[in-house]
C-alpha cells in the first residue's frame, strides 16, 4: 500500500472492538466524580507545578484567561508515573473502571499505530518496538454550561503532544470539539459510541510530517454541559524521537531535529496551549531564524 503524501487527520472509529459497557462505565464514573461536592474533589487537587489531579492544567500566570473547563488527569502506565493518592475512592468503582478502560484503549492505540506504520510502507511493529513501555495518561474534561460562550473557550487551541490521542465524547454531548482545517474551525460531530482519534505531535515528527498533528479546541456551550474522556498514548520518556530514516531522502528533507521524548513532554506541559506552537521545539531552525 502506498502511504499518504501529507495528511492531517482526525477520525472516528466505530469498530474499535471495545465493549460498550466499558465506554458507558468510564463515562458514568467520570460524571459522578465531577458531580461530587467541590470539597470532595479537592482531596485530589492538582498541586502547583504538577500535572495530575483535579483542577486546571496549563495555567502559568495569574493574569492568564482561563479555559471554561475542569479537568481530572491521571498517569496510568507505566506504574512509576502513577500517583495512587490521586485515584479517587469515590465513586467506588472509579479506579476499576479506569483500569479496564485503559487496558482496552491501549490495545486500540497499538493496533492503530500498526496500521499507520503499514500505511507508510513500514513494518507494523516499528512504533511498538521503538516506544519501549509506552506512556499512557487519562484526562477527563468537564465543561459546565457557560453564560458567555462568546467570551471564553472550553479548551484553547492546541495539538496534543502524544503519539495518538483517543477521545470519547459523552453521550448526548453538544458539539464542542472543533478542528482547524484550511484556517477554519470545523466541528467534530459526535457519532454514538465512536472514539475520536487524533494524531499527536510525536507521530508528526516520527513520520517527518507525513502525518500531521491536528490543531483542535473545545468551545463552551450556553445551556449544556459536556464531558470528554481523553487518553494520551506516547513513547517512553527515555527514547530519542526524530524523523525515521525510511522517511527521509533527497525529496523529503528532514524537517525535525532529534530530541529526547521526556524533554518534549516536559516542554509541552510547562507551556500554555497555543495552537501548534510547542512543536517549534522539534523544528529544525532555518538559517534566517538563527541569524
Note the residues at the interface with ligand OGA (CB under 6 A): 139, 141, 155, 160, 176-177, 216, 218, 228, 230
Q: Does the footprint of Ni ion cover residue 201 (CB under 5 A)?
A: no
- Radius of gyration from C-alpha coordinates of the chain: 19
Q: Which residue is nearest to ligand OGA (CB)?
A: 228
In the complex with ligand OGA, the residue whose CB is nearer, 180 or 239, is 180
Name the packing angle between helices 20-35 and 94-119 (round to 10°): 130
In the complex with ligand OGA, the residue whose CB is nearer, 104 or 160, is 160
Task: Tell me the pairing of strands 211-212 and 7-8.
Answer: parallel
Taking the complex as a whole, the smallest distance from the CB of residue 259 to ligand OGA amounts, in Å, to 21
Per DSSP, the three-state class of 266 is helix
Segment 243-251 long-range contacts (CB within 8 Å, at least 24 positions apart): 243/205, 243/206, 243/207, 243/208, 243/209, 244/122, 244/126, 244/206, 244/207, 244/208, 246/120, 246/121, 246/122, 247/120, 247/207, 247/208, 247/210, 248/208
Taking the complex as a whole, the smallest distance from the CB of residue 121 to ligand OGA amounts, in Å, to 30
Taking the complex as a whole, the smallest distance from the CB of residue 198 to ligand OGA amounts, in Å, to 7
In the complex with ligand OGA, the residue whose CB is nearer, 25 or 178, is 178
Scan for cell 484550511, then name that residue: 182
**Residue 57 binding target from Ni ion, ligand OGA, none, CB below 5 to 8 Å by type:** none
Taking the complex as a whole, the smallest distance from the CB of residue 141 to ligand OGA amounts, in Å, to 4
Give the residue from 198, 191, 161 showing the smallest Cα distance to 10. Answer: 198
By CB under 5 A, the count of residues binding Ni ion is 1
- Mark residues 254-283: x for contact with Ni ion by CB under 5 A, - for none: ------------------------------
In the complex with ligand OGA, the residue whose CB is nearer, 117 or 219, is 219
In the complex with Ni ion, the residue whose CB is nearer, 120 or 143, is 143
Task: Tell me the pairing of strands 177-181 and 184-187.
Answer: antiparallel
Q: What cell does 57 get?
A: 492544567
Distances (CA, A) of 98 to 13, 23, 28, 76, 120: 20, 10, 11, 9, 33
Taking the complex as a whole, the smallest distance from the CB of residue 258 to ligand OGA amounts, in Å, to 25
Taking the complex as a whole, the smallest distance from the CB of residue 227 to ligand OGA amounts, in Å, to 8
Footprint on this chain of Ni ion (rule: CB under 5 A): 160
Amino acid at each position: 500500500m502506498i502511504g499518504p503524501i501529507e495528511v492531517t487527520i482526525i477520525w472516528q472509529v466505530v469498530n474499535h472492538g471495545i465493549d460498550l459497557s466499558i465506554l458507558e462505565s468510564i463515562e458514568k464514573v467520570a460524571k459522578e466524580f465531577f458531580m461530587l461536592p467541590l470539597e470532595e474533589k479537592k482531596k485530589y487537587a492538582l498541586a502547583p507545578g504538577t500535572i495530575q489531579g483535579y483542577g486546571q492544567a496549563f495555567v502559568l500566570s495569574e493574569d492568564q484567561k482561563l479555559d471554561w473547563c475542569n479537568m481530572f488527569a491521571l498517569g496510568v502506565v507505566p506504574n512509576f508515573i502513577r500517583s495512587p493518592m490521586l485515584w479517587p475512592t469515590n465513586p467506588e468503582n472509579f479506579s476499576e473502571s479506569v483500569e479496564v478502560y485503559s487496558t482496552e484503549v491501549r490495545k486500540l492505540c497499538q493496533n492503530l499505530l500498526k496500521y499507520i506504520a503499514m500505511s507508510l510502507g513500514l513494518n507494523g511493529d516499528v512504533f511498538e518496538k521503538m516506544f519501549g513501555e509506552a506512556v499512557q495518561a487519562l484526562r477527563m474534561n468537564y465543561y459546565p454550561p457557560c453564560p458567555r460562550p462568546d467570551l471564553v473557550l472550553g479548551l484553547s487551541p492546541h495539538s496534543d503532544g502524544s503519539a495518538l490521542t483517543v477521545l470519547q465524547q459523552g453521550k448526548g454531548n453538544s458539539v464542542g470539539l472543533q478542528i482547524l482545517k484550511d484556517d477554519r474551525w470545523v466541528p467534530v460531530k459526535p457519532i454514538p459510541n465512536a472514539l475520536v482519534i487524533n494524531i499527536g505531535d510525536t507521530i508528526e515528527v516520527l513520520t517527518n510530517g507525513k502525518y500531521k498533528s491536528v490543531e483542535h479546541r473545545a468551545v463552551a456551550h450556553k445551556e449544556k454541559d459536556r464531558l470528554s474522556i481523553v487518553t494520551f498514548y506516547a513513547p517512553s520518556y527515555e527514547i530519542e524521537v526524530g524523523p525515521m530514516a525510511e522517511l527521509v531522502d533527497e525529496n523529503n528533507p528532514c524537517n525535525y531535529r532529534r530530541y529526547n521524548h521526556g524533554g518534549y513532554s516536559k516542554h509541552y506541559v510547562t507551556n500554555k496551549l497555543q495552537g501548534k506552537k510547542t512543536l517549534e521545539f522539534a523544528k529544525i531552525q532555518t538559517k534566517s531564524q538563527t541569524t
